[in-house]
Amino acid sequence: MNWIIQHSERLKFHTNLKEILNPVLADIKSYNWLISDVEFISDKYLSINHEEDFFILSNENFHEILNSETQIIWGVICGFPKNQEIIIDKNNLPYTEENDSIWENGKFQVENAVIEINAFDSTYTIIKFKNKILSEKFKQYFDEAIPLNKFISRL
C-alpha cells in the first residue's frame, strides 16, 4: 500500500496535491493534515510559509492548497482522521531530504498518520496508505504508480 510516482501524464508537475489526492478526496474530506519540512511554489498566498518547520491544517485550510497551483518540491504531508489527535515530536519532525526511512515500505514518520506523502525534489512522489481501500483507489487512478518495494529493488 506504498507507491511511488516517477512519471505521470495526469500530473502537471510533481507533488500536485490536488491531483495526487484526487482519487481519494471524497474519502478524506474530513481529515486534518500535518505539513513538515516544506519547500513549495504557489500561484497564491497560502496559510503555510517557509519560516515555519511544520503546520497543522484543518481540512478547510488544506483545501486552500488543493485549490491552488502549488508544487510541493520537498516536504512531508501526513493525513489524519478528524477524530484523531495529531501526535508529533517537535524535536523529531518528519522530513524528506536525506531521510532513508521514506523509502521503507510501510514505515510512517508519524505513527498515527494514515496517509503520508513525501515530495522528493520535484522528481518523485511517494505516497503511503494504511487503508487498503484508499490505496486501491489510488492505484486504479494512477496505473503508472509503482509499488515502492519494487522500485527500491531496482536500485
Q: Per-block average pLDDT, block size 10, for the chain (155 residues)?
A: 91 90 94 95 84 89 92 95 90 94 94 96 94 97 95 82
Write down the pLDDT at residue 17. 93
How far is residue 134's CA from residue 115's CA, in Å, rounded to a whole number? Answer: 9
Under a CB-based contact definition with an 8 Å cutoff, are residues 57 and 86 in contact?
no
DSSP state of 32: E
How far is residue 55's CA from residue 65's CA, in Å, rounded to a whole number? Answer: 13
Write down the pLDDT at residue 97. 92
Write down the pLDDT at residue 124. 93
Question: Which of 78, 106, 81 has its CA nearest to residue 94?
Answer: 78
97's grid cell: 531530504
Q: Which residue has the cell 494512477?
A: 142
Q: Please count the CA atoms within 13 angstroms of the CA of 141 that sit on its side-chain side.
A: 17
DSSP string, 70-90: EEEEEEEEEEE-TTS-----T
Write down the pLDDT at residue 90. 87
Under a CB-based contact definition with an 8 Å cutoff, are residues 65 and 17 in contact?
yes
Handedness of CA 56, 107, 11, 131 (dihedral sign): negative
Write down the pLDDT at residue 9. 85
Write down the pLDDT at residue 155. 67
How far is residue 60's CA from residue 140's CA, in Å, rounded to a whole number? Answer: 26
pTM value is: 0.94
Count how many residues are written for the chain: 155
